[in-house]
Structure 1
Amino acid sequence: MADTALTAPPRSPLSHYADRLAAATRTSQGAVRLAELPFLAQVNVRLDAKGGAADAVGLALGLQLPLEPNTAIRAGESTALWLGPDEWLVVGPPGSERDLETRIRAAVGEEPVSVTDVSAQRTTLLVSGPGARDLLAHGCALDLHPRAFGTGRCAQTTLGRTQVVLVARDEPGAGFWVLVRSSFAGYLTDWLLDAATEYV
Structure 2
Amino acid sequence: MADAPTLTRTHPLEAWRPAFTALSDGMGRTDLAIELLPLTAALDVRIEPGTDGATAVADLLGVPLPASPNTWTSISDGRAVWLGPDEWLLTGAAASDEESVRAVVGPHGGTAVDVSAQRTGVRLRGRDARRLLAFGCALDLRPASFPPGSCAQTLLGQSGVLLLADREGDGPDSAVLDVVVRCSFAGYVAGWLLDAAEELRPIPAGPVTDSTDQEGDGT
SS in 1 for 2:25: helix
**Residue matched to 1:12:** 11
Give 1:185's aligned amino acid.
A
Task: Provide TM-score, normalisation by structure 2.
Answer: 0.83
Please state how far the C-alpha of 1:122 moved relative to its aligned partner: 0.7
SS in 1 for 2:107: coil
What do the CA deviations read for 1:22-79 (whole angstroms, capped 9, x no partner)?
A: 0111112461110111312211000111211111111111232111110111133121
Rg larger in structure: 2
**Residue matched to 1:65:** 65
Unaligned runs of 5+ in 2: 202-219
CA distance in structure 2 between the partners assigned to 1:127 and 1:153 by the alignment: 15
Please state how far the C-alpha of 1:7 moved relative to its aligned partner: 4.0
Higher relative contact order (CA 8 A, sep 6+): 1
Q: How many residues align?
A: 196
Task: Provide TM-score, normalisation by structure 1.
Answer: 0.90
Identity of aligned residues (%): 43
**Residue matched to 2:130:** 133
SS in 2 for 1:178: strand
On the 8 A contact 2:119/2:180 being kept in 1, the answer is yes
On the 8 A contact 2:126/2:176 being kept in 1, the answer is yes
CA distance in structure 1 between the partners assigned to 2:100 and 2:81 by the alignment: 17
Give 2:147's aligned amino acid.
G
SS in 1 for 2:79: strand
CA distance in structure 2 between the partners assigned to 1:31 and 1:102 by the alignment: 43
What do the CA deviations read for 1:107-148 (whole angstroms, capped 9, x no partner)?
A: 336121110111101101101111000000110011101111
Aligned counterpart in structure 2 of residue 111 of structure 1, from 86, 90, 108:
108
Q: CA RMSD in A?
A: 1.9
Give 1:9's aligned amino acid.
T
Give 2:43's aligned amino acid.
V
CA distance in structure 1 between the partners assigned to 2:34 and 2:96 by the alignment: 28
Unaligned runs of 5+ in 1: none
SS in 2 for 1:136: helix
**Residue matched to 1:158:** 155
